[in-house]
Chains A and B, each alone.
Chain A
Amino acid sequence: MSLENKKSHMTKLDDLLHPSLVASLERLDLMSRKMLQGRMQGERRSRRRGQGMDFADFRPYAAGDDLRFVDWNIYGRLDRLFLKMFLEEEDLGLVIAIDGSASMDSGTPNKFDVARRIAMALGYVGLVNQHRVTLALLQEGRANCLSALRGRRRTAEAASWLIEQKAAGTSGFDSACRALASARLGRGMVIVISDYLLREGYESGLSALAARGWDVFALQILSPEEMDPRQGDQSLDVRLIDSENKSEVEITLSNTVVREQKRRLESFNATLRATCLKLGVRQMTIDSSVDYQKFLLESLRKQGLLK
């Protein structure tokens, strides 16, 4: 399903999450590269040894241990008490952070709409798998969060929150990410959706998230106009106005300039990829006109974000 080619006015859940996609999403689950420690017992293995189904290790018995976990077979063979340890199944902390700067409110299809739809879809996957889902809007150096949603019944709440959000001003990405990292959200997976065209840079913010021990996934959304400046307005001699700080650049879209711009974008994206690789952050770049269903059901599964 491809996105609409004009800015949508989202008013209800169906605008964010199409009913035809719901059934497909319910079969998916998030897949983290890390074994993360949750707060509550959930449906996901954690590093915490507990009462899970999967065997983890043995350790010598100590006074006070629960005798139910003593491996009596070993005691019979070795005449020593050993305790069986199991991986505890805990919930996954899923934080979906959306860049709420004005730069996201551009492009055809609108990048912010696409970001909200993806956030809703991923959030829905988290909710149906009993994960702790937190939605965050990175705006003006702050992280506006809707925290600790769990279960399918919180879907409408998440959708309402997303619909209410508006892209405006700057993101203050670094500060917002630090604020998000310092929030008591436990450990888990963080999906940061942004165009990453950040004047103050993105490395510090991503680094803060990664240092917090989260499994960070950086999803970059670029509009077709950003991919190819010739698309859309056919004017040649243009005055480009920045949507965030209103700075202007006068330029003639010559072939040379367009080629140079594309080259620069590729270089920028390569730097983003390199930075993410250095920080242990998974990264993916998509066009806002990408086929929505195909992206969720195929691309993200190939990337290992969904299973």
Chain B
Amino acid sequence: MTLLTPMMGLIAAMIVVPLLLALYMLKLRRMRRYISSTLLWKSHTEDVRANALMQRLRLTPLFLLQCLLLLLLVAGLMQPVLNSWTRPSGRIVLLIDQSASMQTLDAPNGATRLDEAKRLAIAQVESWQGGGLFAASPPEVMVIAFAQDVSVCIPFTTNPTRIREAIEAIEATDQTTQIGPAIALARAFATEQASEIAAEIKSATVPPLDMQLISDGNCPDLGQLALRKNETLSWVRCGNPDTPNQGISAAGAERRSDDPTLINAFVALRNESEIAVKREFQVRSNGTLIASSPEPITLPAAIGKGATRAPGAQKLSFTPLTLANSGVLSVTMLPNDAFATDDRAVIAIQDQQTLRVLMAGNDSAVEALINSLPSISLQQVSCQDFRKRVSIDANWTESFDVVVTIDCELPVLTAGRWLIFGKPPAIASLNPYGDQPRQAVRTWKSDHKVMAQSQFTDLVVDRAAAIAPTSDWTPLLEGSKGPLIVSGRTYNALVMYVAFLPMDSNWPFQRSFVNFTGQSIEFLGALGSAVTSESLEPGATLRMRVARGSTQVVVTNPRGDSVAQNPIDGEVVFGPLRNVGVYKVDYLDPAGKRKSRAVGVNLTDAAECNVAAAQQLNIPGGELQPKSIGFSTLAIWPMIVMLVLCLLILEWFIYLRSGGVT
């Protein structure tokens, strides 16, 4: 138990307790009453004491009760609070989860978890503010809303109105949960202000930082969180640990190579429930129902528990669907469950496009591979002609979606997207320093889009350029003597550099060569939308290439809000994406034609879609159990008041029983 205003209570006790004693000890003021004779009253010795100026204190029941009442009132003035609800006196950071799972409709009164979180946060802030007339100053509160992005809703303040408004303004997102950046941001603010405070009071003492997380507990990166000294983290849970969820874990569509007007669409389904369920599915093209599951699809139950738990999985394909032009394909699971965000997936289908690829230099393996890719327009020149043409028109490379060079010397890297094999380009940050003989592969970045689904274990490179790239470059493939494949960005060029020629290695004979080359060209040219529509995840950045010179570029999000954009180097960059749905990019191309392209954003993150609220949070150093706020913020003083009232009734009863006299 903690006393919030002990001094106030002590002062009151010092005043009222002696006062009560004095009232009992001082001479009484009596009513005058005429009687016939005082003959029989004269010898009442009991009142001799009462008639003295100061009398000996008599311990009567009423006196003891009044002492008890005073002490209780003094205790009430001291505002005792239980340790489970300790009114903080320093600074508090409210971390409010606004990720996709917080949109689950399992809060009381049919509200979402985010609504409940906001309600609890406001109740918590108000409970800190409340404290009666003699309360100490409330704590400074900062509100941070986080999902994949982090935003400071309001910096440290004690203004309850501003805090409430900031909390109420928090909007839901469909992003995944990352609490690490939020805590880093809170530390940054706290440290900054702590430094200012320390400078003001010329003290190096850093006040403690209390963080209160209001979330459903689905924070995958919480296990990597280590609290520092003077930091505390408490957790207020929103949501039900038993809320099941079924959803679409992946969605895609692909134009058929034999007939590009037909599309094969597929979805992967997930069931987080312990029991198998049946769901129906509908496919709509631009809002028109074009296909549905002939009968309910059974989603198997999740299996395993704890770390080995795996949700039930099912796959569903719809083929073929006719969609000659661009459009939006949506797949909807019916009926919706408590978490509707992943019950619908959208796939933006683009018009058929041909990717323009310029290949400088000769490499039969690369050339054959590029030619095998669908919707590719390949133009091939020699390295000499390439340099000559570039010297004439520096923007020539910009007219191609991807430029592939094979062992060409590139004195100047012009604007564009480059896949470079062999000789390193003239980029200082690569720091080339000769050649490296025979290298084996040590490791590779398997989570990069171009390296996915490839094994490089058996790759042996006979000769490769020796480079020492700066940290601006991302090493994708590490050889035994240095990086072999790196990716990076210069002022106006996006570069994927392979430090060896395929023919100087055994790579052309391996499957990874095919995967890497094809995926690199798709990645650099953003070709995916032309052949296969891949949706983005909430939190990702939308990057879309438009023709250089395009104007009036407007991005419209799923809620219908439009934002004007200025494409840089022919690329529209918008993000991070906050919500699932279709994002539209409208622009006027250099020819004056109004064009529109769409991108589908779907939530497929497995952790985020497992919406069952956590039972506890596992952080390094221990487990964090949920605590409750709002209802536990009942101060003790109302209980004391109740007790005082009961005692008053008891005192009155004793007073009456004693005939009105102690």
Contact = CB atoms under 8 A, between A and B. Distances in A.
A242 B38 contact: yes
Nearest to B50: A252
B448 interface: no
A43 interface: no
Contacts of A249: 38, 41-42, 44
B29 A237 contact: yes
B86 interface: no
A66 interface: no
Contacts of B203: none
Contacts of B259: none
Interface stretch (A76-84, A258-266, A276-284): A258-266
Contacts, number: 108
The SS class assigned to the B binding surface is loop
Interface residues of A, number: 43
B88 to A, nearest CB: 51
Interface in B29-88: 29-42, 44, 46-47, 50-51
A197 interface: yes
B37 A199 contact: yes
Contact of A254 (B36, B41, B661): B661
A227 to B, nearest CB: 12
B659 interface: yes
A247 B39 CA distance: 10
Interface residues of B, number: 25
Contacts of B621: none
Contacts of B29: 237
Contact of B36 (A243, A248, A250): A243
B31 A233 contact: yes
Contacts of B33: 233, 235, 238-241
Contacts of B658: 254-255
Which secondary structure dominates chain A's binding surface? mixed
B30 A250 contact: yes
Contact of B41 (A236, A237, A251): A251
A256 B31 CA distance: 19
Nearest to A251: B47
A256 B46 contact: yes
A239 B44 CA distance: 13
Interface string B459-498: 0000000000000000000000000000000000000000
A187 interface: no
Given A238-B30, A254-B658, A103 B46 contact: no
B662 A254 contact: yes
A264 B47 CA distance: 16
A255 B36 contact: no
A240 B35 contact: yes
Nearest to B45: A260
B160 to A, nearest CB: 50
A256 to B, nearest CB: 7
Interface of A: 102-104, 106-107, 111, 195, 197-199, 223, 225-226, 230, 233-244, 247-258, 260-261, 264-265, 268
Given A223-B36, A252-B50, A258-B659, 12 more contacts: A197-B36, A233-B31, A233-B33, A234-B660, A241-B34, A250-B50, A251-B41, A251-B50, A252-B28, A254-B661, A257-B661, A261-B40
13 contacts: A230-B659, A233-B33, A235-B31, A236-B661, A237-B28, A240-B33, A242-B38, A242-B39, A243-B35, A244-B37, A252-B50, A254-B661, A257-B661
